A and B are shown apart, each in its own frame.
Chain A
Amino acid sequence: MQFLSQLINGLQLGSIYALVALGYSMVYGIIMLLNFAHGDIIMVGGYLAMLAIGAGVAPAFAVMISIFGCTILAVIIEKGAYKPLRSAPRLSLLITAIGVSLLLQNLALLIFSANAKPFPGTSILPSGSVSIGGLSIGTTAIITIVVSVVSMAALTLVVQKTKIGKAMRAVSEDTEAAQLMGIPVDLIISVTFAIGSALAGIGSILFCCRYPLLTPTMGSMLGLKAFIAAVLGGIGSIPGAVVGGFAIGLAEVFVNSVGLSTWTDAVVFGILIIVLLARPSGFFGRPMVEKV
Chain B
Amino acid sequence: MKALTLKMPVRYAINTVLLALLLLAGSALLSAGVFGRAQTSVIMQIGVYIILAVSLNVATGYLGQLPLGHAGFMAVGAYAGAILWKALPEGSLSAVAGIIFGGITAAVFGLIIGIPALRLKGDYLAIITLGFGEIIRIAIVNLSGITGGAPGLKKIPKYSNFTLVYICVILTCVIIHMFMKSRHGRAILSIRENEIAAESCGVNTTYYKVMAFTASAFFAGIAGTLYAGNQGIIAPSEFGFLKSIDILVMVVLGGMGSMIGSIVSAAVLTALPLFLQSSLKGFNDYRMIIYSLLLILVMIFKPSGLFGTYDFSLSFLIEKLGVKKSAKGEKQDGAKA
Q: Which A residues have a C-beta under 8 Å from some C-beta of B?
A: 28, 32-34, 81, 84-85, 88-96, 98-103, 105-107, 109-110, 220, 224, 227-228, 231, 262-263, 265-266, 269-270, 272-273, 276-277, 280, 290, 292
Complex contact B123–A81 (CB within 8 A): no
Is chain B's binding surface mostly helix, strand, loop or mixed?
helix
Comparing B22-30, B169-177, B295-303, the segment that makes contact with chain A is B295-303
Chain B, 104-133, CB within 8 A of any chain A CB: 116, 119-120, 122-124, 126-128, 130-132
Complex contact A103–B286 (CB within 8 A): no
Complex contact A290–B196 (CB within 8 A): yes
Q: Given that A98-B245, A220-B241, A262-B141 are contacting pairs, would A92 and B116 also be in contact in the complex, using a CB cutoff of 8 Å?
A: no
| Alpha-carbon distance between A227 and B134 when the two chains are bound, in angstroms | 15
Of the residues B64, B124, B141, contact of A91 by C-beta under 8 Å: B64
Q: Is B333 an interface residue (CB 8 A)?
A: no
Q: Is B293 an interface residue (CB 8 A)?
A: yes
| Alpha-carbon distance between A120 and B141 when the two chains are bound, in angstroms | 32
Of the residues A92, A93, A102, contact of B291 by C-beta under 8 Å: A102
Contact with A along B237-254 (1 / 0, CB 8 A): 000010001001000100
Complex contact A92–B303 (CB within 8 A): yes
Tell me the smallest distance from the CB of A104 to a CB of chain B, in Å: 8
Closest B residue by C-beta to A104: B292
Please indicate the chain B residues that have their CB under 8 angstroms from the CB of A98 in the complex: 68, 245, 248, 295
Q: Which B residues have a C-beta under 8 Å from some C-beta of A?
A: 64, 66, 68, 116, 119-120, 122-124, 126-128, 130-132, 134-135, 138-139, 141-142, 196, 241, 245, 248, 252, 256, 285-286, 288-289, 291-296, 299-300, 303
Complex contact A99–B293 (CB within 8 A): yes
Complex contact B128–A270 (CB within 8 A): no
Q: Given that A92-B303, A106-B288 are contacting pairs, would A276 and B128 also be in contact in the complex, using a CB cutoff of 8 Å?
A: yes
Please indicate the chain A residues that have their CB under 8 angstroms from the CB of B66 in the complex: 91, 94-95
Of the residues A95, A228, A273, contact of B116 by C-beta under 8 Å: A273
Residue from A93, A106, A277 with most neighbouring chain B CB atoms (10 Å): A106
Of the residues A85, A100, A265, A276, contact of B292 by C-beta under 8 Å: A100
| Alpha-carbon distance between A28 and B252 when the two chains are bound, in angstroms | 23
Complex contact A103–B131 (CB within 8 A): no
Q: Given that A85-B299, A88-B299, A110-B286 are contacting pairs, would A266 and B135 also be in contact in the complex, using a CB cutoff of 8 Å?
A: yes
Tell me the smallest distance from the CB of A139 to a CB of chain B, in Å: 33
Please indicate the chain A residues that have their CB under 8 angstroms from the CB of B292 in the complex: 99-103, 106
Complex contact A277–B123 (CB within 8 A): no
Complex contact A273–B122 (CB within 8 A): no
Please indicate the chain A residues that have their CB under 8 angstroms from the CB of B123 in the complex: 28, 32-34, 90, 94
Please indicate the chain B residues that have their CB under 8 angstroms from the CB of A89 in the complex: 303
Of the residues B131, B141, B291, B293, contact of A273 by C-beta under 8 Å: B131
Complex contact B196–A84 (CB within 8 A): no
Complex contact B131–A272 (CB within 8 A): yes
Please indicate the chain B residues that have their CB under 8 angstroms from the CB of A91 in the complex: 64, 66, 122, 256
